[in-house]
Amino acid sequence: MSDSKNNSKEVVKNQKGYTDEEQAMIDHLRDRLSSKPLKFRANDKTKLLEPEGDPLLAVPKMLAAFGTTDLELYKFLLDQVVQTFRTFQTSEGVCESSKMAEFCNHAMAILHGIRPMDEIEGLLAVQMIGVHNMAMNAMRLAMISGQYPDSIERNTNRATKLLRTFAAQMEALKKYRSGGQQKMIVEHVHVNKGGQAIVGSITKEGGHEEKK
């Protein structure tokens, strides 16, 4: 029975004419779509945001987005990250509920991709979004035509520093998740006469080196 199902899937794929690479892209997207980030919508009557979808899943998805179990911390971090988006407020200091929902959905989608596992990762994820938004805004300002070269250089330098900061944040997140360990596996060793060799793995942790 399973063979017939596999064959039918293969026939469908061949009929579509997808290459193996294209089919892998489709399968990858299908897997990611099976776990969607939480989305908000604006309530025109109350002017408040409401989560879409299953209400029982809303709170777990909210908390998971920031790697916390504290609802107040979730609200605090969401407010922080949303305010890093450009044009968050009007000149009167007001943000429309529809715009607020849009920015919240952008933030939740990015956080869903980062998938912070605890509060430390949640804080870092919020900072990464803020730095990215600032860098993109600086690049936008640098691309405005008709401005003085000094302005272009100033915004370009600002964007460069922010992008370096973002790369450092990614490294910090990677290091934090791995516990600060780095492993190198030596698979092939050639030793000359009178020489010494390191065979096995080398684990670096906290500045110490262990050889096996």
Residues 149 and 207 in one domain: no
Residues 159 and 174 in one domain: yes
Residues 53 and 135 in one domain: yes
pLDDT in tens, 107-130: 999 999 999 999 999 999 999 999
Backbone angles phi, psi at 96, to 5 degrees: -65, 145
Residues 75 and 114 in one domain: yes
Confidence of residue 182 (pLDDT cuts 50, 70, 90): low
Residues 69 and 172 in one domain: yes
DSSP 63-118: HHHTT-S-HHHHHHHHHHHHTTSTT-S-TTS---HHHHHHHHHHHHHHHHHH---S
Residues 2 and 88 in one domain: no
DSSP code of 149?
H
At 15 the pLDDT is 53
Position 171 pLDDT exceeds 60: yes
Which residues have a Cβ under 8 Å from the Cβ of 97 and sit 6 or more positions away?
42, 43, 44, 47, 48, 49
Query: Facing residues of 184 across strands?
Result: 202
Confidence of residue 11 (pLDDT cuts 50, 70, 90): very low
Rg value, the chain, Cα: 24
Residues 12 and 29 in one domain: yes
At 190 the pLDDT is 58
Query: Facing residues of 183 across strands?
Result: 203
Residues 74 and 27 in one domain: no
Angle, CA 205 vertex, CA 204 and CA 209 arms, to 5°: 45
End-to-end Cα separation, the chain, in angstroms? 50
Structural domains in the chain (count): 3
Q: How far is CA 82 from CA 105, 126, 129, in A?
A: 9, 9, 9
pLDDT in tens, 57-111: 999 999 999 999 999 999 999 999 999 987 766 666 667 788 889 999 999 999 9
Residues 21 and 70 in one domain: no
Residues 200 and 147 in one domain: no
Residues 15 and 66 in one domain: no
Residues 25 and 124 in one domain: no
User: Residue 4 sits in which domain range?
Assistant: 1-34
